[in-house]
Amino acid sequence: MIVVAGHVCLDIIPSFASVAQLEPGTLVRVGQARLSTGGVSNVGVALHRLGVSVRLVHKVGQDLFGNAVRSILDSLSPQLGSGVRTVAGQTTSYSLVIAMPGLDRMFIHCPGANDTFNADDLPDEVVHGYDHLHFGYPPIMREIYNSPQQAVSIFERARRQGLTTSMDLCSVDPHSEAGHVRWTEWLEKVLPVVDLFTPSFDELSLMLGRPNRLTESNVLVLAELCLSWKCQAVLIKLGDQGLFYADADRKLHQPCRKVNVMTTNGSGDCTIAGFLASWTRGDPVERAMELATAVGACCCEAADATSGVPSMSEVERRITRGWDLLPCTLDFKGAIHDPTK
């Protein structure tokens, strides 16, 4: 059983028939917009679709967007929305997701009530009886990024209750308040109470001011940095190059699966959900990585962040039937698990 806590928003996703030029003074015609929940709640929704018992802990405002978030979660399961707290006087977070065919998605984002989330929003009784806590996204949660001790308190409380912990990041607007946070110092304080750190290569490179060219050596440097800050393990998302895992004893790589991509929105969250669903039930890390990239691939087959995720048994059936791997240009020279052998 998994608690997923932290950032939630309403994703508003216009449909584009082709790549459009967004320029001042012009009108771009689009199709019907899809509404879905976004933020780290995607991990919780994906876990629910995979058949994992999950509790969401989030904050929304007392407004139409907050009602929409609740309605979407309730339509999946009345239980999913039960941990979402409505805060009077706050605005519900929302993202305008620009996802054009053949291009990576872009976001226009309002953090809203997420800026007020802190350790008090995750008391002992919320995590009691669960096995794992997954938390995200600190870079768009003001009280968390301004005070690493808030994040430390969240993870320490979960650990005292016997839960393992994981944390994810998200993109940082370099011109925002969060863009000026000393993220190296922040991570040095927080990672010692994190069992599994799950950033993307791009996010981590930007936040730490490291080279953002996706190469084997740059991935290895980031992984070693994270481990030097005392997290137990790091799982780095590499986009269409798959996943890289490292702990004190091993380094593993898992390529992606081939699919017809409708959007990559939510694929990182769903990849994490696949890993956690497997890892928390005691599967070997190699199996968890295999299922993680498979769930992330399923996500890409739908137009929103989570509706493409099937049950875990269906994911396993697709792998068993011989699901082709996406070609990978990275070569970690024997330091990795090779799933093709």
CA distances 224 to 18, 183, 220, 234, 284, Å, are 41, 16, 6, 9, 21
Q: What is the mean pLDDT of residues 222-231?
A: 96
Under 8 Å between Cβ of 301 and 257: no
Would you say residue 116 has pLDDT above 90? yes
Tell me what pLDDT residue 6 has: 96
- The per-residue pLDDT for range 75-103, each reduced to its tens digit, is 999 888 888 999 999 999 999 988 787 77
Task: Let me know if residue 337 belongs to a domain.
Answer: no
Tell me what pLDDT residue 41 has: 94
Give the dihedral of Cα atoms 122, 128, 134, 135; nearest 10 deg: 10
Angle at 303 between CA 300 and CA 167, to 5 degrees: 55
pTM of the full structure: 0.91
Q: What is the mean pLDDT of residues 245-258?
A: 94
Q: What is the mean pLDDT of the chain?
A: 91
Task: Let me know if residue 303 belongs to a domain.
Answer: yes
Task: Let me know if residue 23 belongs to a domain.
Answer: no
Strand, coil or helix: 160: helix
Task: Let me know if residue 72 belongs to a domain.
Answer: yes
Q: How far apart are CA 196 and CA 278, in angstroms?
A: 14
Task: Let me know if residue 89 belongs to a domain.
Answer: yes
pLDDT bucket at 341, cuts 50 / 70 / 90 = very low
pLDDT bucket at 337, cuts 50 / 70 / 90 = low
Which single residue is written with the structure tokens 């053949």? 102
Number of domains in the chain: 1
Tell me what pLDDT residue 335 has: 55
Would you say residue 254 has pLDDT above 60? yes
Q: What percent of the chain has pLDDT over 70?
A: 98
Q: How far apart are CA 242 and CA 296, in angstroms?
A: 10
Tell me what pLDDT residue 314 has: 94
Under 8 Å between Cβ of 107 and 95: yes
Tell me what pLDDT residue 340 has: 47
Which is higher by pLDDT, 18 or 339?
A: 18
Task: Let me know if residue 299 belongs to a domain.
Answer: yes
The residue segments making up the domain with residue 126 are 2-18+32-320
Task: Let me know if residue 239 belongs to a domain.
Answer: yes
CATH number at residue 141: 3.40.1190.20
Would you say residue 307 has pLDDT above 90? no
pLDDT bucket at 334, cuts 50 / 70 / 90 = low
Task: Let me know if residue 336 belongs to a domain.
Answer: no
